[in-house]
Every structure is written in C-alpha cells, then in structure tokens.
Amino acid sequence: MPRLAAKRRSEIPSFASRFGQQLLGWFDRNKRDLPWRRNRDPYRVWLSEIMLQQTRVAAVVEHYNRFLVRFPTVQALAAAPLSSVVAAWSGLGYYRRAQRLHAAARQVVHRRRGRLPRTLAELEALPGIGRYSAAAIASIAFGEAVAAVDGNVERVVQRVLGRAVCGNRLWRVAADLLSPSRPGDFNQAMMELGATLCLPREPKCRLCPVEGMCRTRGELKPSPPARRQARKEVDYALDCRQGSIFLVRRAREMTLMPGMWELPEIPRDRSIEPSFTLRHSITSTDYLVRVARLALPGEAKGCWIKASRAGKLPLTGLARKILCRAKLI
C-alpha cells in the first residue's frame, strides 16, 4: 500500500490547485455561449454529450436546438418511434448514437421513472454512454467529482505534463488536476481550452491561462501524418415521377445505417451522363457521387415515396444531400 501511494503521488502535479483556479477564471470570462450551457438539466446535458461525440460543435448547435423542440423531454423521446428519432438525427451521422439514445431513454422512463442516473457508474450502464460521456454528464449535471477525458483534454494534459501519457494513467492525472468544488465547469474548461487555444497545430500559448504551468508551450511532438482518405466513386439513380421519388430501404440487420432510406445504387455505365455530381466524405473515404436522373426498370426493388414525405423519413446523410441538391426536399 505505501508503495502504491508513492507511485500515485509521482503522477500528481503539485500545482493542481493553482491550475484549477486559473483555468476556471479564464473559463468564466471566455466560455462560448452554447445552448447546452444555459442550464444543467440532465436530459439536455446528456443529449449534448451524445451529439458531440465525433461531431463538430457548430454542426451540433443547429441539430441540438431542433431535436429539443421535437423531443423536449426524455419522456417525449422515449414515446417517439425510433424512425422519428433517427429522422431528427439525420445529418449528424453515426446513427447508432440515435438508436442507443432512444433505447437509453426508454430504459430511463420505464425503469427509473424518467430520472437519469446521477453517478458515473450508473450512467455507464445505459446504452450509448461510455466512460467519457458518463463522466461528463455526472460532473456537469450532478456535480460528481470525476474527470472526463476526451481528445482535447488528452492533448492539454500531455502538453502540460510535457510527456505522452495514455490509458488509465491519463485519467488519473486528469483526476488529480480536477477542481473538486467545480468538477463540471473544470471538465468543460479543459475541453474549451483544447478546442479554442490548445489546438492540435499552432496552439495559442500566449493567450493560455495555464501557460506558466505548461512544460511544453507548443506542440508536444510532430503530429503523425494525417491518414489519407481512400477515394471511391459511386453511382445513384434518381427516378422521380409525378411527385414521387423511388427510394430503397437499407436492411435492418446491416451494420451501417440500418433501416434508413437511400437512392438506389446503380453500376457504373459510361453511356449514362450524370445529371450532377457531388463529394461526400465519411471517416476514411472520400466519395465522388454521380447522380443520374433516369427511369428505373419495373423490377427494381424499392418504394415510391411522395417527395413531400421523403424529407421526414430517416434518410442517410448522402440521400438527404442528393435530394436537397436536386431541390426535391
């Protein structure tokens, strides 16, 4: 036990209290006015944390407000059919998040009388809530003194310490730095610092509230070269007749975007001139998408959907992009 304590002490920065004070003072003066910061309602905090996973703040703001108008409470979310929830999520990508959010809302309503659990451990047991999200929700909405470590926080911690730490050790250091009196604000301040000043490239150290305590004051090491995206080409048919569009539904057992609607993909045929092209980028692939307006053969599998209804369906992000470009929704 004494040996363990000695090992742990070596991880604890001696300046934790001063670090917290300076960081929080800066955060109080400079934090961005984001809709999920206007109160600490657990449902709103939870929703924002799920939406922010792998998604830019600017994209989330727009969807967050719309989603809350449609599903203002966890009860409203749980009572809605999954298809409406996925439709409202359309454009944010990573649709499994919407499915898990919906499943978690049903658990919260049916097993917990609509009350979100208050602790990291209980939150982590809900679908779609991992260690980071659970820590963020527990600290921001309920004041539990737990550190939340995302990519931004990891970068800040590593630069402040002047060395790469990862895994559980990284979480321990973040916990040692945490302000026990304002854990939710501290976690948000660390994320804010990473998102606005301690940027991956060319951090703005001269504006940084903890510059005097940072051992790196710059980039810790050259970032690894960005992973090159694979380039692919894909062709879709846009068959629109008498106000209806021919769409196909992805199988429910598919891993990606199950049950969502899209345009029928067609094999490349150089004799068909595309009506328009667009680019569509997902995590590892940059697609050149060719869309041809044509009449599909009668045996094509799919459904005719009224254009006025199509926009309300859970469309894939690409299908929505194509139909917007074609001015059909």
* Interacting residue ranges for ligand SF4, rule: CB under 6 A: 156, 159-160, 197-198, 203, 205, 208, 210-211, 214, 216-218
Contacts of residue 38, defined as CB under 8 A and 6 or more positions apart, other chains included, come to: none
d(CA 254, CA 45): 30
Q: What is the DSSP letter of 125?
A: T
- What residues are labeled active site? 49
Question: Least CB distance from residue 205 to ligand SF4, whole Å?
Answer: 3
Q: Are 314 and 87 in contact (CB under 8 A)?
A: yes
Question: Least CB distance from residue 49 to ligand SF4, whole Å?
Answer: 23
Question: Least CB distance from residue 155 to ligand SF4, whole Å?
Answer: 7
Question: Least CB distance from residue 209 to ligand SF4, whole Å?
Answer: 8
Question: Least CB distance from residue 116 to ligand SF4, whole Å?
Answer: 33
> What values do phi and psi take at 291, rounded to 5?
-120, 125
Instruction: Answer positive or negative: Cα dihedral of 303, 306, 307, 310.
Output: negative
Q: What is the DSSP letter of 180?
A: S
Q: Are 277 and 289 in contact (CB under 8 A)?
A: yes
159/320 with CB nearer ligand SF4: 159
CA distances from 135 to 156, 181, 189 (A): 18, 15, 14
Question: Least CB distance from residue 63 to ligand SF4, whole Å?
Answer: 29
50/214 with CB nearer ligand SF4: 214
87/198 with CB nearer ligand SF4: 198
Buried b / exposed e along 223-243 (16+ C-beta atoms within 10 A): eeeeeeeeeeeebbbbbbeee
205/292 with CB nearer ligand SF4: 205
d(CA 34, CA 64): 10
44/159 with CB nearer ligand SF4: 159
- Nearest CA to 289 out of 220, 239, 223, 231 is that of 231
Amino acid at site 321: K
- Nearest CA to 187 out of 146, 215, 159 is that of 146
Other Cβ atoms less than 10 A from the Cβ of 144: the count is 18
- Nearest CA to 210 out of 192, 230, 234, 184 is that of 192
Give helix then strand counts, H and E, for the chain: 14, 7
220/292 with CB nearer ligand SF4: 220
